[in-house]
Amino acid sequence: MARRAFLGALAGAFLGAAAARAAYAAFTRRPPIGDAETWDRTNHRGEPITLLEGPAFVAGAGAAGAVLPGLPVRVRAAVLVAVAGSGALGAYDDLYGATSSKGFKGHLSALAKGEVTSGAVKILGIGVTGLAAAALTSRGPVDTAVNGALVAGGANLANLFDLRPGRAIKVGLLAGAPLLTAGLWRDAPVPAALAALPIGAAVALLPEDLGERAMLGDAGANALGALLGLAASVALGRPGRLAVLGTVVALTAASEKVSFTKFIAGNPVLNRIDMLGRRPVEQALGN
């Protein structure tokens, strides 16, 4: 295995994991905004859960990106823009968002009627965040547009999967593994480290998520997807980036018509992966 890329990936995963766990421990003692009840929600079982996992992912990934050795200045800045921008907009929606409008179609339809929803603010803000991060690592306007769409699209898509324990993180791991492998295969330490950083932070928080004690929420899921989109923009050539972007767009469009939860439950392989590490459904029914 390529030594430079392996060391870069190891550093990214270790720093991401250590920083995320430290941030979660700190935020459970003193939340970043308000008190613990500010971040309390009810999950799909009707049980209490905290959203503090999301800010912990944002803070941990951001801190790790700031000190991760070997990153060029512009790439480091792009990491911080992507994670801080998408995470802050997600936290805004977590804390102050309304649920009357859902999905791209719902928020944009409301905006067309003159109603500015929190979701519309997030969609537009993450679009700007994606372009800003991409501008730091891209060559020319076409690459900036493609890479910006990858960052913003990844942020939105990851959030669409954050409906059951561990699901968004598992999707993130499945998406990040090929990017990490590509960096290792090419002995490219920067792409390998960029892919490993969110993977490490996500894995470190996975026990809280699977244990149904905490969830990523919009803040964490947006940041996870944005960082994976940024990693893809750095690791892949233009054909690969366009293929990934097409997949992101197709899945996002499908989410307007199809319930991912129902589709996953109806597929034996996907359902097995989705339930891996989770409490059995029967426990939710009291049987």
Q: Are 14 and 200 in contact (CB under 8 A)?
A: yes
On the question of pLDDT at 114 being above 50, the answer is: yes
User: How many C-beta atoms surround the C-beta of residue 211 within 10 A?
Assistant: 14
The answer to whether 161 touches 167, Cβ cutoff 8 Å, is: yes
What is the rounded (10 degree) CA torsion for 186, 189, 190, 193?
110
Residue 112: CB atoms within 10 Å: 9
The angle that helices 118-135 and 103-112 make with each other, rounded to 10 degrees, is 110
Structure confidence by residue, pLDDT tens digits, 24-33: 999 999 999 9
Exposure on the CB side of residue 131, measured as CA atoms within 13 A: 8
**Residues 153-171: b if buried by 16+ CB within 10 A, e if exposed:** bbbbbbbbbbbbbbbbbbb
**Predicted confidence band of residue 178 (pLDDT cuts 50, 70, 90):** very high
The length of the chain, given as a count of residues: 287
What pTM, to 2 d.p., does this model score? 0.92
d(CA 101, CA 108): 9
Q: What digits encode the pLDDT tens for the residues 121-150?
A: 888 899 999 999 999 999 999 999 999 999
Tokens representing 75 are 């790439």
What residues does 42 pair with on adjacent strands?
Answer: 48
From 51-65, 94-108, 163-177, the region with the lowest mean pLDDT: 94-108
Task: Report the half-sphere exposure of 144 (CA within 13 A, side-chain side).
Answer: 10
Task: Give me the pLDDT at residue 283, please.
Answer: 47
Decide if pLDDT at 242 tops 90: yes
